[in-house]
Structure 1
């Protein structure tokens, strides 16, 4: 099992992680053809500023006990016991937004186009390393194997 860890002290707010996520979840061939103004090009992570105006990367933590899964009444949110990935199944979603309201990290949001599906990180499923991790120039975003820390 894997999870993304964030060292906010290393984050410079460059948004390379956001652009990498947008590119991965779009039809653009590369960063130069990515339409940043399109509402269909949304990132599943973002950068906030803390009270001292320092950047704080906000990512899905694929929690051990995810509130989004516990509050999802339709079963659209689920956690894979083997991989640890918390997934979203749009076809099961009832658009109640309980997952959005319960996310401890304030990450989940409703898509801008339909206002009915949830934008949810899937750790770049079927890729060796998530794009946000691969594109972070400072190493603020890391992928850690679960066995590297105690449960």
Structure 2
């Protein structure tokens, strides 16, 4: 399955992926109108400092703790992508606490959570964060999913 991966050595820490993500998930076609005068709430976050930067987004785990922890059934897996049903979310934040990567966050709606859904409505194109990355530090590709024991040996999936 294709997933978003980050090549940290190429990340400039410019945060453009965050802006493209926020705009893509705003429901508005025009980036300026979707972001101007608003606090952005992207589903991808750039972390780091001047020496190393990297983007953090949902890893769409094979055995997702966030889905298991969701008491309302608002998170589910559809064709390998973990998606949220905002109408079912009760704002308990169990999924936020369950995600070991910190990839489930608050949305603009009070108490409702959001997470990367790989821009599933993007008609098969790359997610907005990937398309907007000027240095190609964020990629959308199938690298195969390592077995559980291999994940720790690799230092985590990236």
Q: Distance in 1 between matches of 2:109 and 2:145?
A: 39
Q: Which residue of 2 aligns with 1:10?
A: 10
Q: Is structure 2 residue 97 aligned with structure 1 residue 98?
A: no
How far 1:13 sits from its partner (Å)?
0.7
CA contact (8 A) 2:22 2:35 kept: no
CA contact (8 A) 1:110 1:116 kept: yes
1:49-81 deviations in Å (ceiling 9; x for gaps): 25x75212111111111111111111111112x
**Change in 2 beyond 3 A, CA 1:68/1:33:** same
Residue aligned with 1:56, SS:
strand
Q: Distance in 2 between matches of 1:78 and 1:14?
A: 32
TM-score, normalised on structure 1? 0.84
Q: How many pairs were matched up?
A: 145
The root-mean-square deviation of aligned C-alpha atoms, in Å, is 2.0
Q: Is structure 2 residue 123 aligned with structure 1 residue 123?
A: no
Give unpaired runs (5+ residues) of structure 2. 148-158
Q: Please show how residues 57-96 of structure 1 align to structure 2 within 5 Å.
A: 57-80=55-78, 83-96=79-92
1:86-135 deviations in Å (ceiling 9; x for gaps): 00011111211010011111121112x43221111111113221111111
Q: Which residue of 2 aligns with 1:46?
A: 45
